[in-house]
């Protein structure tokens, strides 16, 4: 459905089903992008039904936003429905060249293909192995960086090319589970990448220039003194940075121009105090933004901001079936461990019996991860079912800097486990939970390990321990 961004009026509805001859054709859209004013791009699965025979193929198509006319630019062979289809991934687009670049999966490889959206003419830019995750392109739509998984799957490997993808050299690799490294943009002017990362000698993850050819970090563009940077956003079609973002409890932003900072404050004031928002997409020249807004009591919604109108209009809810009147607002709980380490946790009261509910302790996974004051489906589900939920941010959690993260090294089942117990004690001291109410501990991944460790080491503390995909054999 194509809507007017100012009024919300429907301008066009694109049909999912049509019939030609005796065949019924159905479209299942995988993703949609609108990089050019007059052309919508989409990846879809096309199902053809003829009598009792079913066939499917993956297609890449353009859609005219005025007429709804579809044009298939690339497609896989038709296959039976029991065969899995890989949708092409959009890597980049260039309005002047009228080209888009896709990663298309083959049997044992991935091809980087540039397609002209008017003529359908294709250019093969690169062929890589099936472990390839993505590419970065320069201003001429030539590949300059390729990111692959290692054969073991444990590392991300960064390759550079100085001749448009004909030759590649491994320049850098990192462990994505424990070392954040997120490319934001590439500038052909100085042959530098801008990345969110934490160099070995830095306390917090920040925004840096990075030279892929030398594997060295350059100038720091922004860093916070207390928290790790989590993301950054640049303007569409430009190397200019818009903002960088970090989670304190809520999502906060550092803007790179006074004009953008003023607009950011205006959006903040138009939304509820508990809301977190980020730019999801923007129009070609930045006149309109699509922003995604969520909060601890709202799973999220998409809004459009037209800069000429200076107002937000909701496009749709992300999960409209959820009754927001049944959600529960969490609160931050600050506490100290028995040895004096300052920690925090998030407490979500039961929506049915606040103050007298059984408690679920829910340590996060990772353990280099963290919870924030945003939507958590598990916590809200348990609160709706009558439980209070506590999410402790024990030592070793991510987002608080390298020193805090290293405090957890070697402390699985030891100090990290005690941090969880100290948090539960702090809830009792604050009168948020009753000592005589039943207690459970629930977690996934590292949180599952913590649940198993609690059942093993403190069997009387909990009536129930649930491990979802929990680590259970540390040597392995």
Residues 464 and 329 in one domain: yes
**C-alpha to C-alpha distance for 7 and 11, rounded to whole angstroms:** 10
In a domain, 274, yes or no: yes
Residues 314 and 355 in one domain: no
* The pairing of beta strand 298-306 with beta strand 39-50: unpaired
Residues 10 and 52 in one domain: yes
Residues 349 and 271 in one domain: no
% of the chain surpassing 90 pLDDT: 64
Quick one: DSSP state of residue 165? S
292-312 residue pLDDT tens: 999 999 999 999 998 888 889
**C-alpha to C-alpha distance for 418 and 421, rounded to whole angstroms:** 5
Mark which of 59, 87, 115 sits at the end of a domain: 87
**C-alpha to C-alpha distance for 123 and 427, rounded to whole angstroms:** 61
**C-alpha to C-alpha distance for 372 and 379, rounded to whole angstroms:** 12
Contact 387, 344 (CB under 8 A): no
Q: Where are the beta strands (DSSP E) in 97-215?
A: 99-105, 109-116, 122-129, 132-137, 143-149, 156-160, 169-174, 181-187, 192-197, 206-211
pLDDT of residue 309: 82
In a domain, 150, yes or no: no
Residues 397 and 275 in one domain: no
Total number of domains constituting the chain: 3
**C-alpha to C-alpha distance for 262 and 284, rounded to whole angstroms:** 21
Closest CA to 333 of 405, 396, 391, 273: 391
In a domain, 194, yes or no: no
**C-alpha to C-alpha distance for 130 and 438, rounded to whole angstroms:** 49
Residues 329 and 452 in one domain: yes
pLDDT of residue 23: 67
pLDDT of residue 77: 77
**C-alpha to C-alpha distance for 265 and 301, rounded to whole angstroms:** 19
10-47 core/surface letters (b: 16 or more CB in 10 A; e: else): eeeebeeeeeeeeeeeebeebeeebbbeebbbbbbbbb
In a domain, 424, yes or no: yes
Residues 299 and 390 in one domain: no
Residues 360 and 458 in one domain: yes
Q: Which two tokens stand for residue 403?
A: 């020193």
In a domain, 426, yes or no: yes
pLDDT of residue 116: 94
**C-alpha to C-alpha distance for 372 and 393, rounded to whole angstroms:** 9
Residues 6+ positions from 166 with CB-CB distance below 8 Å? none
Mark which of 301, 322, 343 sits at the end of a domain: 322
* The pairing of beta strand 464-468 with beta strand 439-444: parallel
pLDDT of residue 218: 92
CATH number, domain with residue 444: 3.40.50.1820
pLDDT of residue 84: 64
| Residues in a beta bridge with 304 | 290, 313
**C-alpha to C-alpha distance for 455 and 361, rounded to whole angstroms:** 13
Render each residue's pLDDT in the chain as its tens digit; 476 residues.
888 888 889 988 887 666 655 567 788 888 889 888 899 999 988 888 877 778 888 889 999 999 999 898 888 777 766 566 678 899 999 988 999 999 988 888 999 999 999 988 999 999 999 999 999 898 888 999 999 999 988 899 999 898 889 999 998 888 887 678 888 887 766 778 899 999 988 999 999 999 877 888 999 999 999 999 999 999 887 788 999 999 999 999 999 999 999 999 999 999 999 999 999 998 877 889 999 999 999 999 999 998 888 889 999 999 999 999 999 999 999 999 989 999 999 999 999 887 789 999 999 999 999 999 999 999 999 999 999 999 999 999 999 999 999 999 999 999 999 999 999 999 999 999 998 899 999 999 999 999 999 999 999 999 999 999 999 998 88
Quick one: DSSP state of residue 454? H
In a domain, 475, yes or no: no
Contact 366, 391 (CB under 8 A): no
Could you give the maximum distance between any two Cα atoms of the chain, in Å? 77
Residues 285 and 381 in one domain: no
> Is there a cis peptide before residue 197, judged by omega within 30 degrees of 0?
no
**C-alpha to C-alpha distance for 367 and 371, rounded to whole angstroms:** 11
In a domain, 169, yes or no: no
Quick one: DSSP state of residue 366? S
Contact 154, 163 (CB under 8 A): no
Question: Could you tell me the residue range of the domain that residue 33 belongs to?
Answer: 1-87
Question: CB neighbours (10 Å) of residue 100?
Answer: 25
Closest CA to 386 of 361, 352, 355: 352
State the burial class of residue 400 (Cβ atoms within 10 Å of its Cβ: 0-12, 13-18, 19+): buried
Quick one: DSSP state of residue 79? B
User: DSSP assignment of 303-318, as one string?
Assistant: EEEETTTTEEEEEEES
Query: How many CA atoms are closer than 13 Å to the CA of 201, on its beta-carbon side?
Result: 4
Residues 402 and 299 in one domain: no
Closest CA to 423 of 336, 357, 327: 336
Residues 462 and 328 in one domain: yes
Q: Where are the beta strands (DSSP E) in 263-365?
A: 276-282, 288-295, 298-306, 311-317, 331-336, 342-348, 359-361
Residues 6+ positions from 392 with CB-CB distance below 8 Å? 343, 345, 361, 363, 419, 420, 423
Q: How far are the Cα atoms of 55, 173, 213, 274, 396 from residue 181, in angstroms, in the given order?
A: 41, 10, 16, 29, 19
H helix runs in 291-414, sequence order: 377-384, 402-406
Residues 318 and 451 in one domain: no
Mark which of 64, 87, 110 sits at the end of a domain: 87
Q: Which two tokens stand for residue 262?
A: 């003023």
pLDDT of residue 295: 98
Quick one: DSSP state of residue 76? P
In a domain, 473, yes or no: no
């Amino acid at each position: 459905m194509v809507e007017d961004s100012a009024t919300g009026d429907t301008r066009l509805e694109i049909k999912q089903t049509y019939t030609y001859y005796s065949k019924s054709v159905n479209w299942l859209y995988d993703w949609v992008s609108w990089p050019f004013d007059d052309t919508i791009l989409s990846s879809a699965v096309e199902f053809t039904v003829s009598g009792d025979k079913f066939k499917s193929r993956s297609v890449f198509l353009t859609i005219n936003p005025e007429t709804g006319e579809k044009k298939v630019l690339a497609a896989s062979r038709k296959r039976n429905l029991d065969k899995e289809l890989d949708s092409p991934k959009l890597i980049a687009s260039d309005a002047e060249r009228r080209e888009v670049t896709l990663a298309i999966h083959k049997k044992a490889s991935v091809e980087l293909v540039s397609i002209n959206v008017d003529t359908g003419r294709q250019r093969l830019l690169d062929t890589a192995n099936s472990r390839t995750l993505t590419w970065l392109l320069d201003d001429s739509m030539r590949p300059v960086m390729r990111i692959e998984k290692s054969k073991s799957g444990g590392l991300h490997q960064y390759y550079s090319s100085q001749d448009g993808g004909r030759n590649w050299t491994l320049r850098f690799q990192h462990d994505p589970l424990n070392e954040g490294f997120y490319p934001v943009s590439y500038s052909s002017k100085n042959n530098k990448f801008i990345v969110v990362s934490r160099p070995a000698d830095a306390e917090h993850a920040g925004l840096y220039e990075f030279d892929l050819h030398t594997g060295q970090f350059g100038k720091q563009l922004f860093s916070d003194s207390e928290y790790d940077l989590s993301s950054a956003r640049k303007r569409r079609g430009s190397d200019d940075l818009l903002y960088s973002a970090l989670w304190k409890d809520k999502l906060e932003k550092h803007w790179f121009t006074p004009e953008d900072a003023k607009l950011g404050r205006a959006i903040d004031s138009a939304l509820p105090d508990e809301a977190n928002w980020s730019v999801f997409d923007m129009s070609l020249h930045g006149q309109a933004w699509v922003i995604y807004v969520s909060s601890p009591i709202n799973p999220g919604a998409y809004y459009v901001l037209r800069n000429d109108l200076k107002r937000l209009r909701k496009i749709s809810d992300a999960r409209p079936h959820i009754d927001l009147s049944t959600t529960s607002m969490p609160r931050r709980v600050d506490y100290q461990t028995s040895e004096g380490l300052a920690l925090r946790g998030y407490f979500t009261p039961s929506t049915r019996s606040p103050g007298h509910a059984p408690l679920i302790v829910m340590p996060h996974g990772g353990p280099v991860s963290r919870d924030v004051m945003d939507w958590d489906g598990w916590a809200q589900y348990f609160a709706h079912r009558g439980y209070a939920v506590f999410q402790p941010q024990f030592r070793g959690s991510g987002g608080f800097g390298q020193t805090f993260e290293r405090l957890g090294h070697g402390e699985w089942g030891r100090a990290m486990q005690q941090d969880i117990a100290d948090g539960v004690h702090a809830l009792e001291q604050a009168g948020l939970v009753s000592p005589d109410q039943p207690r459970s501990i629930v977690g996934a991944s590292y949180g599952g390990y913590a649940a198993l460790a609690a059942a093993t080491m403190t069997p009387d503390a909990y009536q129930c321990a649930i491990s979802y995909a929990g680590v259970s054999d540390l040597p392995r």
